[in-house]
């Protein structure tokens, strides 16, 4: 019976990626968390640095305990929280009570999927408080806490937000913990980061399943890991070093919520973010100086089969966590006036656009009004003041919009400030134009201000800032991916619509691709440009074949695909691709903005508008000839050795060599290795432009090309049909 259930589940999982369609996936790797994690655990001057940024405070937290996650750092405040698995951000929360949430999902503190991630529910993130003094009050005078002090823990939560909805079998759980007085081995070790160059030679690889021992001159004897990924000479690898013991806590489930979509959540509770009030009444277990609480979530992966589709999922957002005495179940309001969403673009269609295009039709490029989300979390009506100001960066232009005064009603009664009650605040007009300069670019900072009560000593207020950019590209996206976009099958086409106000020259296309497990989306595509045909892509204007998915080495950086020949354009045009495989290319997808009406896909010979709300992280670069590289050399075609056809149906592999590898003298001493998924070398031969593999079984292989010194110059995936 168990075997039958497993087979059904596997087929259901495969069905996700088999039909011809567009598919949204979560992130396999969060680039923001990954970059910060690597910065904190960096190797300095070739030495080894301890992974020491996960710290506990030296003394317990004294009441009140409060966090609204309105901070700049992506990890929780270490003064309040003991772990770093959740992501503090302004991207995933949707219409919460204020800006900033703590997101629990399937990605760990390294920015990668949890090691135990699977298609079946698994314990994923945790948000654990530091020890809290729930035994005593110290203000105005020290005394013991009793049940009569009426202690409540409250928080807001929402499923999905702008991410992936948790399934019905997934859950968010709140637990209370009491210290037993014992210490336990933590089932993990204090870790260090070690360069792989200490273990392998240039060009070599550590394969999944390989055993790697910790440096015995630095760490406890006999500690090792079994590699779960591919590692190369220039990589770092995290190794266990010393045993870690932690206080033993008994954890009890206090509250939980099953997974559901955000729409189902709203239909059930009438709000996008729901507040929960939890009394703490067990004085024996919890009224100590070591009380802790934690949020945990159980998640399940969207796909566990094709690595290019394997992804993060099941987001929950936590906000406004408050623990204190003297509360009741009716203590649900707070003296706080705040913006609940980020500042919007002042442009009608874009987050950014070329300055030349703006100045040629400025009136039609500006919004007529903005949409602001302002909340009053108090029970008092505030006669609030709102205004916004515009400042030119490195320029003289300034503009001030005075929104005047309006009554701001409590959020629990009226929700956000709305246009009917106060259009001057909730829907402020845009009654200005940016200066019509002749420069190539310009930037402007827009600041929004809300002041809730000018008469009180504890004035409540909030400020928002955003940058309006005019450079040499169009962007619908905000530059941060919440998810990924993919198409299937092979031959599928993606087109993204843009409109010019004056004739211009397309120089390049910028794309941001999310990484997948083992970089399984490093596939090839044909870069395409189409003209318009009655609101849909028409004739092909440009095609550049066999482009490869590339990842930028900079944080949230786009890879620039330079056109072989500049392309003059006018009016409406489309940029995009034609896929060469059915794998997920995993283009970054911004859920904060919505450009669905400009996104088209074609999987069957006919163009359809996208069914998803979001903005592709793909941008056309226009205008003057692109600048040269930092070395002063002009931009050339990237050097690469590209195998084709891929997938391979016969036994002959061909190679397309670009850049410096286009010179046969450069590659004549190279060698080719073909390895199976276990890392076993099944073919070794001198490099030639065409090689016969002989009979090999269908499956996934690693194709590695080395130079005469043994350095790997190309590592790619090869699929044999």
Q: For residue 449, list its beta bridge partners.
A: 387, 463
Nearest to 22 by CA among 642, 586, 470: 586
Q: Is the fold of 22-324 the same as that of 483-622?
A: yes
Phi, psi of 420 (to 5 degrees): -70, -40
pLDDT at residue 573 in the model = 98
Domain ranges of the chain: 22-324, 344-471, 483-622, 640-720
Q: What does the alpha-carbon distance between residue 524 and residue 515 come to, in Å, rounded to a whole number?
A: 15
- Cβ atoms of residues 400 and 446 within 8 Å: no
pLDDT at residue 43 in the model = 39
Q: Does domain 22-324 have CATH number 2.40.37.10?
A: no
pLDDT at residue 230 in the model = 79
Q: Which residue has the tokens 């937290």?
A: 61
Does pTM surpass 0.85?
A: no
Domain 483-622 sits in CATH at 2.60.120
Query: Tell me, which fold does domain 640-720 have in CATH?
Result: Immunoglobulin-like (2.60.40)
Q: CA separation (Å) from 141 to 137, 144, 151, 311, 325?
A: 7, 10, 18, 52, 14
pLDDT at residue 713 in the model = 74
Q: Average pLDDT per run of 10 along the chain, which is 721 residues long? A: 29 39 81 77 41 51 93 88 92 89 90 83 93 90 92 96 90 91 61 80 82 79 79 79 71 95 95 95 92 94 59 86 94 91 95 95 96 93 94 91 94 89 96 89 94 76 92 94 90 96 96 80 91 96 92 78 94 96 90 96 94 96 74 47 83 82 81 78 88 85 79 74 77
| DSSP states along 255-282 | EEEE---HHHHHHHHSSSSEEEEEEE--
Q: CA separation (Å) from 715 to 306, 330, 584, 666, 711?
A: 19, 61, 19, 17, 11
Q: In terms of C-beta density within 10 A (0-12 exposed, 13-18 middle, 19 or more buried), how is residue 359 classed?
A: buried
Nearest-5° angle of CA 466, CA 469, CA 474?
Answer: 125
pLDDT at residue 53 in the model = 37
| DSSP states along 323-343 | EESS--TT----S-EEE-SPP
């Amino acid at each position: 019976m168990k075997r039958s259930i497993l087979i059904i589940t596997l087929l259901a999982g495969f069905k996700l990626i088999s039909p011809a369609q567009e598919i949204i996936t979560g992130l396999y790797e969060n680039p923001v968390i990954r970059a910060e994690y690597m910065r904190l655990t960096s190797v300095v001057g070739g030495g080894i640095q301890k992974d020491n940024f996960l710290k506990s405070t030296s003394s317990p937290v004294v009441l009140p305990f409060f966090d609204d996650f309105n901070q700049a750092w992506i990890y929780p405040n270490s003064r309040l929280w003991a772990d770093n698995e959740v992501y503090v951000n302004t991207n995933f929360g949707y219409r919460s009570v204020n800006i900033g949430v703590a997101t629990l999902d399937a990605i760990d503190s390294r920015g990668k999927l949890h090691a135990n991630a699977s298609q079946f529910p698994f314990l994923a993130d945790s948000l654990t408080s530091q020890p809290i003094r729930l035994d005593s009050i110290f203000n105005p005078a020290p005394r013991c806490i009793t049940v009569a002090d009426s202690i409540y823990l409250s928080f807001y939560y929402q499923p999905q937000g702008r991410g992936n909805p948790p399934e019905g079998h997934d859950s968010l759980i709140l637990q209370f913990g009491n210290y037993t007085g014992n210490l336990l081995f933590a089932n993990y070790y204090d870790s260090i980061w070690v360069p792989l160059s200490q273990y392998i030679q240039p060009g070599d690889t550590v394969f999944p399943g390989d055993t790697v021992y910790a440096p015995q001159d630095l760490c406890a004897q006999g500690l090792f890991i079994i590699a779960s990924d591919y590692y190369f000479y220039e990589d770092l690898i995290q190794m266990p070093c010393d045993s870690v013991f932690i206080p033993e806590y008994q954890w009890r489930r206090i509250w939980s919520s099953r997974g559901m979509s955000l729409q189902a959540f709203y239909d059930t509770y009438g709000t996008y973010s729901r507040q929960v009030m939890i009394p703490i009444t067990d004085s024996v277990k919890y009224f100590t100086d070591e009380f802790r609480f934690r949020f945990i979530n159980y998640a399940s992966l969207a796909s566990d089969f094709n690595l290019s589709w394997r992804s993060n999922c099941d987001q929950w957002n936590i906000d406004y966590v408050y623990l204190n005495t003297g509360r009741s179940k009716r203590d649900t309001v707070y003296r706080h006036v705040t913006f609940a969403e980020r500042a919007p673009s002042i442009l009608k269609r874009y987050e950014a656009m070329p300055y030349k295009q703006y100045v040629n039709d400025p009136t039609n490029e500006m919004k007529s009004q903005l949409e602001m989300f302002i909340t009053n979390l108090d029970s008092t009506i505030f006669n609030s003041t709102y205004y916004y100001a515009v400042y030119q960066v490195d320029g003289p232009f300034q503009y001030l919009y005075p929104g005047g005064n309006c009554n701001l009603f409590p959020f629990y009664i009226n929700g956000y400030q709305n246009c009917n009650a106060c259009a001057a605040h909730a829907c402020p007009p845009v009654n200005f134009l940016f200066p019509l300069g002749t420069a190539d670019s310009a930037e402007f900072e827009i600041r929004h201000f809300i002041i809730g009560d000018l008469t009180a000593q504890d004035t409540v207020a909030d400020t928002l800032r955003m940058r309006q950019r005019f450079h040499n590209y169009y962007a619908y996206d905000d530059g941060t991916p919440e998810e990924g976009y993919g198409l299937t099958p092979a031959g599928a086409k993606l087109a993204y619509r843009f409109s010019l106000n004056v004739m211009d020259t397309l120089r390049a296309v910028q794309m941001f691709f999310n990484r997948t497990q083992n970089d399984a989306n490093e596939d090839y595509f044909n870069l395409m440009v189409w003209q318009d045909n009655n609101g849909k892509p028409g004739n092909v204007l440009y095609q550049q074949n066999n482009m490869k998915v590339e990842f930028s080495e900079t944080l949230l950086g786009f890879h620039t695909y330079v056109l072989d020949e500049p392309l003059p354009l006018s009016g409406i045009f489309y940029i995009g691709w034609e896929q060469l495989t059915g794998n997920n290319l995993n283009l970054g997808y911004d859920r904060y903005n919505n450009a669905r009406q400009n996104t088209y896909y074609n999987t069957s010979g006919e163009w359809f508008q996208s069914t998803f709300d979001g903005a592709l992280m793909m941008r056309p670069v226009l205008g003057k000839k692109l600048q040269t590289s930092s070395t002063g050399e002009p931009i050339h075609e990237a050097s690469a050795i590209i195998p084709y056809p891929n997938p391979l149906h016969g036994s002959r592999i061909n190679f397309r060599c670009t850049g410096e590898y286009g010179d046969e003298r450069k590659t004549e001493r190279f060698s080719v290795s073909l390895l199976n998924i276990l890392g076993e070398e099944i073919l070794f031969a001198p490099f030639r432009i065409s090689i016969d593999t002989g009979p090999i079984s269908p499956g996934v292989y690693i194709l590695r090309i080395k130079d005469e010194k043994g350095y790997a110059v190309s590592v790619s995936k090869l699929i044999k049909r």
